[in-house]
A and B are shown apart, each in its own frame.
Chain A
């Protein structure tokens, strides 16, 4: 599961550009991962220039 770190994002849209399933919604200063659509490919995590996104274990989030 992809997690957005607090207060870090610059809303540049690089993650949106590479997302193969259009699972990231980005407005002027608001970013959301659409978890139902996300396939956890992690491309957005790699490509983010400032390390905003992180991949977390699904189990952790299910707790």
Chain B
């Protein structure tokens, strides 16, 4: 007998959905969250597509800060290209409330939840993960389980403890910094992306509206460029230039995984999901929905493996197979795009933006961007637009 059927390490969206699916299938399930809160601190720009969300739940206006209709791309010299989002709606969430709702849903399906529970080791015997060692308010505890699901975010230590290679390469890492600000005048139905080697080398800067007078403003620097610049300094400078009256209500640092899915995301008794498995969109860095998709698959595969009694990597093989079929394959392509975007020069970007700018607005849609981008190499604007449009 094990203490639990399924232990989920990490109470973000991916972990909460995994626990929900597992509990819904009748499995004894617990979420262990290292921080004292579910949903806080929010290390996220908080954007998702409503069509992706709808596969999981109805939108609750309580956790929606803004509804997005347009994406606006800014070239290094300042040309702005406004595009309709090719998806139904973009949403900027209140992640704290959103994550709470997801954890509540898992709990109501029957899952237990413990916060302030820091997993510092795995119980492994006969080459099989059989539980976790953790500290609950600093007190050492252990729990056994048939399946452990690692949803421990960008740090991804649970996978490492099981011998999986999870360390992010520098070239696949966004060094991010974001502030939530008040007293700014931003359009509430537009998300803005700024590009340029001075503003955010090899990365981008974003402005996402968060309700009247409020916005998330952040940036990520990617790859070797981080040696010479600091994300926080770049953002502070942008704020001083553009929003001198902004008041910073929240400031967070964060690492953004812009990698391909890990080669190995499961082993005997263990599955990795979300940022821990490097499942975010490698172009945009968005990873909420993809993490939830993986959480759903992992919860369902755990239930099936426990039913058949095969808890080995082989018994879990539907997990990587389904992930790659549903999302992973597309994101492998996005990863190649992501690498080519980093090589685009400011000049190339400016030229493309100028060309698009001269078009009448009714002609400026994603297909036109595609045509313009295709003329140049690489076809950057298309790739960016597509990736961001799907967040």
Contacts and interface: CB of A to CB of B under 8 A. Distances in A.
A52 to B, nearest CB: 8
Interface in B147-161: 153-157, 160
> Which range holds the interface residue count of chain B?
20 to 34
Interface in B362-383: none
Given A13-B154, A16-B155, A16-B157, A49 B254 contact: yes
Interface in A2-61: 10, 12-20, 22, 26-28, 43, 46-51
Contact of A49 (B36, B157, B230): B230
Contacts of B173: 14, 17-18, 47
Contacts of B253: 10, 12, 14, 48-50
B204 interface: no
Contacts, number: 80
Interface residues of A, number: 21
Contact of B34 (A27, A43, A49): A27
Given A28-B116, A47-B173, A51-B232, A14 B36 contact: no
B175 interface: yes
B180 to A, nearest CB: 14
Q: Which of A12, A15, A22 has the most chain B CB within a 10 Å cutoff? A: A12
A28 B35 contact: yes
Given A18-B173, A49-B177, A49-B231, 10 more contacts: A12-B254, A13-B255, A17-B167, A17-B255, A20-B167, A28-B35, A28-B116, A48-B253, A49-B221, A49-B254
12 contacts: A12-B252, A12-B255, A13-B153, A14-B154, A14-B255, A16-B154, A17-B173, A17-B257, A18-B173, A46-B170, A46-B226, A50-B177
